[in-house]
Structure 1
Amino acid sequence: MRIEDVTPELSHDRIDRLREALLAANYTADGVLDTLGPQAHAALGRGEPEPAIRATSEADALHTLIRVFLLGHPVDRAAAEQALHPLTVEEAVAAGVLVHDGDSVRAGLDIRPHAATGNSWWIISDLDADTRPSNLPVSREHVLGVGHASLSLIRATPTRQVGSLLDLGTGCGVQALHAGTHAERVTVTDVSERALSLAKATFRLNRIDVEALHGDWFEPVAGRRFDQVVCNPPFVVGPARTDFVYRDSGLSGDDASALVVGRVPELLNEGGTAHVLASWLHLEDEDWRERVAGWLRHTDVDAWFVQRDVAEPELYVGTWLRDAGIDPKSETGRTKSAEWLEWFEANGATAVGFGFVTLRRNPGQQPGEVVCEDLRQAFDDPLGAEADEWLRRIEWLRQRPTREELLRSPLVTAPGLVLERVSSHEQDGWSTFVHRLHRTDGPGWQHEVDEIGANLIAGCQGALATDELLELLAAGHGADSAELARSAEPVLRELIRHGMLLPAEWGPQR
């Protein structure tokens, strides 16, 4: 029986002694970086182990722990005994932390430092591709560590203070660790007993109090409500199967994402928000925006669907095969590829979209705003802060449903907004034919406007109401003021939604 097919025996006592050993060895994010040095540390992150191997040649506890857990190397039993003291090697083997490898021992679990936002934790998961032996296939019950998807959801989750937070489908527990920095009470669920066992060990190892519940989808928290929900569901799109619990839901197509988006608002208190990773099909005769908007089951929910990437079926299948350690060129890989690609073709799917969904349950059952948009440009700022501000801006717009109410409001340009002009050389000199606004922070939105629009935005300094600015512009350009107001309204609403123009009442810091 493979180690991933059984639940590890990670008792509180063993976890406490493991914590003591890790602290004594300074097996922390800073300790590892200081030992390896920036170049070897960066190389290890790229999957290039040799510099780290050369930097850990000494027989001390920290070097041993790095070799075992970060490099996946077998080490001498005596060295492991010294590094893990007061946890004995036999107890570590019984707990699944180590496994025997001839006369040596090697990692049975992935235990690695994780640092962010001024905090340093350890995360326990199953061995990743860089540390698991080549002859050890990925198990159906595999518990994934901290991957790119996990980190992207962390960055897309607002960190405002909340009372209660639910991590739906916690996996290794990384979302809950970050949630604990801004939530008074954290609850996690998972359908996998193994995942829940490793997550609870992670929480114990880091001295974090978390309520952990076992069960499928929403069953463990039926009838409860939370201020915030985060969810990184098994969103892989394809046939209805469960090859790997961490990524496959057993539901067909994008039904898992549809289920979460449709049902999560029921878990929210009024004013509560949810932040979800999701995938959706692009079909031949359907706009993806209409597809995902149709997932919503409640009319009192604001929803922001942000598409970050789109992959054609061939790339999508190859990526997820490699994720499972399957060579697409192997017989198994070719068989699975053929089945998967045939499913895409039979269902008229031309691509798979991937992105973030922000949801808010509106107080008083106010009708919600649903916006679906592409955000495939590169940007550095975390999307979580932008999600909170997006909700704040659409709430402000909701309170001004008519053109007159909107235009009576003074506006200001957002800090960091710049205007790019593109001109062509003509007989009389340079003629500008593009006026493009850029937000230099957040998601880096861009909008093209005409010359009158550029002049209107330049005049948004909070001193005059927008309708007064439009009257002045109409007089200066010989335009009809009523027509100018009609054409300006949708542009202004879009610029406010994207944080390029802001209500003057919010103050200069905004």
Structure 2
Amino acid sequence: MTPDLSPDRIDRLRDAFLSAEYHADGVMNLLGPQAHAALGRGEPQPALRATADTGPLGTLIRLFLLGEAESTAAVATALHPLDMEEAKAAGLLVEEGRTVRAGLDVRPHAAAEQSWWVISDLDSDLRPSSSPVRTDHVLGVGHASLSLVRATSRRPVGSVLDLGTGCGVQALHASTHARRITATDVSKRALALAAATLRLNRIDAELLQGDWFDPVADRRFDQVVCNPPFVVGPARSDFVYRDSGLDGDDASAMVVGHLPAFLHEGGTGQLLASWIHRRGEDWRERVAGWLPASGVDAWFVQRDIADPALYVGTWLRDAGYDPRSPSGRQKADEWLDWFETHDVEGVGFGFVALRRTESAHGEVVCEDLRHAFDDPLGPETDGWLRRVEWLRDHSSTEALLGSRLVTTSSTVLEQVSSLEETGWAEFVNRLHRTDGPGWQHEIDELGLRLIAGCQGALPVGDLVELLATAHGEDTEELTRAAVPMLRELVRHGMLLPAEWAETER
């Protein structure tokens, strides 16, 4: 059943939320930092204590954030001017005798200067144990959604396509940098909740129903974002939000392969994806093979690898299965059998950035970034694509050596020494970028001297010649060693063209 979240009902719900101050700041102010942090850890008791006898805002927090049954009278007051019967008809409330519970998850979602509300289905923490997960269950703002939010470029654009919008959270964030938003989903229920989310936040978007790219056939966009149903395993469609009906990692392969065709020239795409690690196969070759033969720059970032048993157990619990139950054991067996049949050693998960380019030879880079870092990948994506384009324009050795480069202020030198008879002896020199993904590169003594000389005053070729003369090295040999190192350091943002720094002063 699709909730009847009519615009009129959503408008009155918004009035109720604003009146009660049920928004990110209001919730934080009422709970206080300790109870708010405890709630984020899944510990409800401090929040329950903080919301006792606090009027409509406390009622809404207990109803929607804590999953408590509240008195009909208190909820009627908190939701005014939305009538209780209309709230039930909209699926927002479920009656339980003289009390009501939340029928949908409606919660504040804050980002930078923005405070929004997101409407989704109840997650496992708030859903009654007697209520199974729906086939068309619509996820709220989870870890995957937030990781895509952090990895998405916010460069101003004319048009954004949110492919497989779900509850609409990516479309919300797109509203901060796009003039026009199109959101699609195969699920009628998802589109109804996304429409309500967008209406609740006064955001206009075009909503289209259909499978994958079908609703936007023959159209192009400046940016495409996608959090697809990327779960890897046997072809199934148990749950729309995670199961594509395609075998293995074919869903991720299909989106990566087709997405560039829906971009304007220079347009970008950001998506989450999963890929199989198969015995005897390099995952980098696998994912690179998904791309069109030309005209695409691509950056694959692997953030995690799960072994098959852990992967299956995680997704069974996500769907509400007890792995110890007969049904859970049967599902696990089917899944693990599929992994064994297909020689799967692990499942990689990560982020993909794409750009449609006029170049016949796009840049495709696959990198393992499983270490922890705090900075979001969105700004890094913009920087990576810009640096790749610069490297393409300076693809010849002559062009690179003729450029002036600057070592960035975020690049530091780490040195590791071992204790020997004569004292401490350095044996590792490592450049470390202290922002972004925290890239690291080991480098030799001559390389260190070359990087130290990159201050924008002289072309790189002149620096190499001076270094070779000073240390009695062959200039051609030193050049051959320096060029690939310089390109990698530019790609990772440790060296930048001097004209960029001059322009930004």
The TM tier, using the shorter chain, reads: over 0.9
> Residues of 1 paired with 2:422 and 2:452: CA distance?
26
Mapped pair 1:131 → 2:126: yes
Give the SS at the match of 1:105: strand
2:329 maps to what in 1? 334
In structure 1, the residue matched to 2:45 is: 50
**Quick one: which of 157, 161, 185 aligns to 1:162?**
157
- What SS does the aligned partner of 1:464 have? coil
Which residue number in structure 1 is paired with residue 383 of structure 2?
Answer: 389
1:131 maps to a residue whose letter is L
The CA deviation string for residues 325-349 of structure 1, in whole angstroms up to 9 with x for no partner, is 2121222211111111111000010
> Does residue 452 of structure 1 match 2:416?
no
1:71 to 2:66 alignment: yes
Q: What are the ranges of 5 or more consecutive residues in structure 2 without an aligned counterpart?
A: none
Q: Is contact 1:471-1:481 (8 Å) kept? A: yes
| AA matched with 1:214 | Q
Query: May I ask how many residue pairs the two structures share in their alignment?
Result: 504
Give 2:430's aligned residue.
436
Equivalent residue number for residue 19 of structure 1: 14
Map 1:135-214 → 2, pairs under 5 A:
135-214=130-209
Q: Residues 347-390 of structure 1, C-alpha deviation per residue, up to 9 Å, x if partnerless?
A: 0100000000000001x344210000101111111101000000
Work out whether residues 59 and 79 of structure 1, in 8 Å CA contact, stay in contact via their aligned partners in 2. Answer: no
Q: Does 1:85 align with 2:84?
A: no
Bigger drift between 331-340 and 437-446 goes to 331-340
Helix, strand or coil: the match of 1:461? coil
How many Å separate the matches in 2 of 1:290 and 1:218? 25
Equivalent residue for 1:484, pick from 455, 478, 481: 478
Aligned counterparts of 1:37 and 1:54: Cα–Cα separation in 2: 11
Kept after mapping to 2: 8 A contact 1:241/1:251: yes
Q: By how many angstroms is 1:59 displaced?
A: 5.6
Partners of 2:425 and 2:50 lie apart in 1 by 60
Contact 1:300 1:366 (C-alpha < 8 Å) held by counterparts: yes
- C-alpha displacement of 1:298: 3.9
Provide the residue aligned with 1:232 in structure 2: 227
Rounded to whole Å, the distance in 1 between the matches of 2:500 and 2:475 is 27
**How far did 1:40 drift?**
0.7
Distance in 1 separating the partners of 2:397 and 2:488: 13
Equivalence map 1:98-497=2 (5 Å): 98-362=93-357, 364-497=358-491
- In the TM superposition, structure 1's runs of 4+ consecutive aligned residues that sit over 3 Å from their partners are none
What is the CA–CA distance in structure 1 between the aligned matches of 2:460 and 2:262, rounded to whole Å? Answer: 40
- TM-score with structure 1 length normalisation? 0.97
> Does the residue aligned with 2:355 lie in a helix, a strand or coil?
strand
How far did 1:97 drift? 0.5
Deviation at 1:273, TM superposition (A): 0.2
Residue-by-residue CA offset, 1:300-329 (whole Å, 9 max, x unaligned): 000000001011001111111111121212
Letter aligned with residue 70 of structure 1:
L
SS at match of 1:357: strand
CA–CA distance in 2 between the matches of 1:262 and 1:460?
Answer: 39
Structure 1 stretch displaced more, 227-236 or 429-438:
429-438
Q: Distance in 2 between matches of 1:297 and 1:457?
A: 36
By how many angstroms is 1:103 displaced? 1.9
Counterpart residue identity of residue 416, structure 1: S
Q: Secondary structure at the match of 1:143?
A: coil
Q: 1:151 Cα shift?
A: 0.4
Secondary structure in 2 aligned to 1:462? coil
RMSD (CA atoms): 1.0
Q: 1:496 to 1:365 in 2, by over 3 A?
A: closer
CA distance in 2, matches of 1:326, 1:149: 20
2:498 equivalent among 469, 481, 504: 504
One-letter amino acid matched to 2:455: Q
TM, length-normalised to structure 2: 0.98
Q: Which runs of 5+ in 1 are unaligned?
A: 1-5
